[in-house]
Amino acid sequence: MLDTPARIYYKYEGASPAGSHKLNTAIPQAYYNKQAGIKRLATETGAGQWGTALALAANFFGLKCTVYMVKVSYQQKPYRRSLMQVFGAEVYASPTDKTEAGRAVLAKDPDSPGSLGIAISEAVEDAVKHPDTSYALGSVLNHVVLHQTIIGLEAMKQLEKAGHYPDTVIACSGGGSNFCGIALPFVRDKIREGKRTRIVAVEPTACPSLTKGKFTYDFGDEAHLTPRMMMYTLGSDFVPPGIHAGGLRYHGASPIESQLLHDGLIEAKAYGQLAVFEAAVMFARAEGIVPAPESAHAIRAAIDEAMAAREAGEKRTILFNLSGHGFLDLGAYDAYLAGELQDSSLDDAALAEILAKLS
C-alpha cells in the first residue's frame, strides 16, 4: 500500500483479553494488592482500556474494583463501561458527586467533560478514605513502566528471530506506559551499546505535553493528592478537548520518559486526529485489524517514516507498538467516516497562559 522499501513490524497488544497492553501491569498490581490483604481497588480510566484491564485482573484475584471513568469517554464509549461491568467492576462517570474532588469540579463547571487528572483525584480520594482499598494507576509511574517493558523485551527477541534490529521504534504516548514498555529495552541498547536507534513518542496536538509542555515538578492529578513528579506537563488543571483518543488526554508524562526526552535519547511528535484516523483506516484495510485511536498515533508516525524511507530510497526497519484494538471505538470511526471529526490543537495564546502558570 505504501510502496516503501522500509520493513514495518508491529507488536500487537490488542490480542490480550482486555484489548490492550494494560493487562501487563493490571495483573501484577492486583496480585500484590491481594498479597497485602487489600479488598478493593480504585482507579481512573480514560478510554476505558485501563479500567477494563484492572476490572479483569481484580476479578481474577477476588478483589472488588471501582472505576472513575472520564465523562466524555463514558459517553463516547458505552460498551467499554459494559465490559468493565461484565468483569465485575462498578463504574462512575467522572467528575462524580461521590468525592470532594469531583464535587469541587462540578461546582465550577457542571458540564465538565472530565479529565484523567480529575478522575485520578477521585480514585485516590476514594482509596485514602477506605482503609481496605488501594489506588492502582495504569500509566506514568515507574513500576507500571517496568511491568510494560515485557513489550520491548519480547519484540526484541521476535525481531532477533527474524534477523532484524529496528532503526526506528515508535509508540503513542498518553502517560507513557506503552511507549516506555516498547522503548526502554532499546534505550538500554542505545546507552550501553551505542546503538543509534531513533525512538519516537507520538501524542495528540490537542494534548501536547511532550512537544509543548514544560519540564518541571508537577502533580499527577487535578486536586493535588499525588506527590509531585519531574515531568513534561501542561499543568495539572489542564482539561484537553474531548478527542477520541481518550487515553492520550493526560496533562503530564512518565518521569522516566520525560527525562529521556530532556536528555535527547528519545524524540516526540504530535498529530491531529484527522491524520491519525486516516492512518487508522489505511491500517485496518491493509492488515484487517481495527486499531484503537490511541495506537493509531503510532501508525501515523510509522507511515510517515516509511514514506520518508521511500523518498530517500532507504531500506529501513521500523518497529511500532500497536497498543490496542479499536473494536469498542467504532463510534469514533463512524464520526470520522461521516466527516464529523475535527482537528484541535492548543493555540499559542492558551499555551502561553499555561506555561506562564507553570513558571
Ligand X SMILES: Cc1ncc(COP(=O)(O)O)c(C=O)c1O
Binding of residue 114 to ligand X (CB under 6 A): no
Q: Do 113 and 93 touch, CB atoms closer than 8 A?
A: no
Binding characters for ligand X, 1-40, by CB under 6 A (x = yes): -------------------x--------------------
- The footprint of ligand X on this chain (CB under 6 A) covers a number of residues equal to 21
Binding of residue 43 to ligand X (CB under 6 A): no
Residue closer to ligand X (CB basis): 139 or 197 = 139
Q: Which residue has the cell 515508535?
A: 170
| Closest approach of ligand X to the CB of residue 175, in Å | 4
Residue closer to ligand X (CB basis): 247 or 316 = 247
- DSSP letters along 58-125, please? HHHTT-EEEEEEEHHHHHH-HHHHHHHHHTT-EEEEES-SSSHHHHHHHHH-TT----HHHHHHHHHH
| 171 burial type by CB count under 10 A (0-12 exposed, 13-18 middle, 19+ buried) | buried
Residue 313: DSSP 8-state = T
Which residues in the 133-152 window bind ligand X by CB under 6 A?
A: 139
Q: Do 328 and 83 touch, CB atoms closer than 8 A?
A: yes
Q: Cα dist. 188→165, 179, 256, 258, 335 in Å?
A: 14, 14, 13, 16, 41
Binding of residue 46 to ligand X (CB under 6 A): yes
| Closest approach of ligand X to the CB of residue 78, in Å | 16
Please pick, from the candidates 176, 185, 204, 208, the single residue that binds ligand X as defined by CB under 6 A.
176
Residue closer to ligand X (CB basis): 124 or 141 = 141
Which residues in the 278-317 window bind ligand X by CB under 6 A?
A: 292, 294-295
Residue closer to ligand X (CB basis): 95 or 247 = 247
The span from the first CA to the last CA of the chain, in angstroms, equals 47
| Closest approach of ligand X to the CB of residue 359, in Å | 26
| Closest approach of ligand X to the CB of residue 192, in Å | 25
Which residues in the 223-282 window bind ligand X by CB under 6 A?
A: 247-248
| Sequence letter at residue 36 | A
**In the chain, what are the helix, strand and coil shares in percent, each to the nearest 5?**
45, 20, 35
- Coil/strand/helix, residue 176: coil
Comparing every residue's Cβ against ligand X, the nearest one is 247
Binding site for ligand X (CB under 6 A): 20, 46-47, 49-50, 139, 172-179, 247-248, 292, 294-295, 323-324
